[in-house]
C-alpha cells in the first residue's frame, strides 16, 4: 500500500517507490498528459516548493559568444589527422581481388 503525503494545496499524493517508468506506462493511456498520471502528479508535488522560485543569480559574468565558440572549436593538434589516416590507408591497402594464373607445373 502506498504512503500518502499531505501538501499545502490540500491534495494527497501517493508516494511513488520503485521504477516510476513502469507505473507511468501502465497507468497512462496513449496521449494522456504526464501531468495527469499518478507519477506526474507525484513528481510535481515533490518539486512544488522550488518550481515557483526565481532563477538563481549568477556570481560571474556570462562568457561572450566568441570565447564560447573557441571552446567548441576542433583541437588544433588533431587538425588534418583524418587526412593522414586516409593517406596511410591508401598506401597500405591490400588488393583482395582474386587473380587466377595458369599452373605451370601441370601439363
Domain ranges of the chain: 4-51
Once rounded to an integer, what is the mean pLDDT over residues 42-52? 88
> How many CA atoms are closer than 13 Å to the CA of 74, on its beta-carbon side?
7
Q: What is the pTM of this model?
A: 0.26
Cα distances (Å, whole numbers) of residue 101 to 98, 104, 105: 10, 9, 12
Q: What is the pLDDT of residues 95-104, one digit of tens each?
A: 777 777 776 6
Alpha helices, DSSP H, located in the chain: 20-27, 38-46, 48-51, 65-71, 81-91
Amino acid at each position: 500500500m502506498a504512503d500518502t503525503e499531505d501538501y499545502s494545496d490540500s491534495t494527497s499524493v501517493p508516494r511513488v517507490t520503485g521504477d516510476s517508468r513502469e507505473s507511468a506506462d501502465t497507468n497512462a493511456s496513449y496521449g494522456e498528459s504526464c501531468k495527469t498520471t499518478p507519477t506526474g502528479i507525484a513528481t510535481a508535488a515533490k518539486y512544488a516548493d522550488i518550481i515557483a522560485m526565481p532563477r538563481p543569480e549568477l556570481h560571474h559574468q556570462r562568457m561572450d559568444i566568441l570565447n564560447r565558440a573557441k571552446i567548441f572549436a576542433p583541437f588544433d593538434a588533431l587538425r588534418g589527422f583524418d587526412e593522414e589516416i586516409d593517406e596511410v590507408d591508401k598506401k597500405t591497402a591490400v588488393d583482395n581481388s582474386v587473380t587466377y594464373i595458369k599452373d605451370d607445373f601441370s601439363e
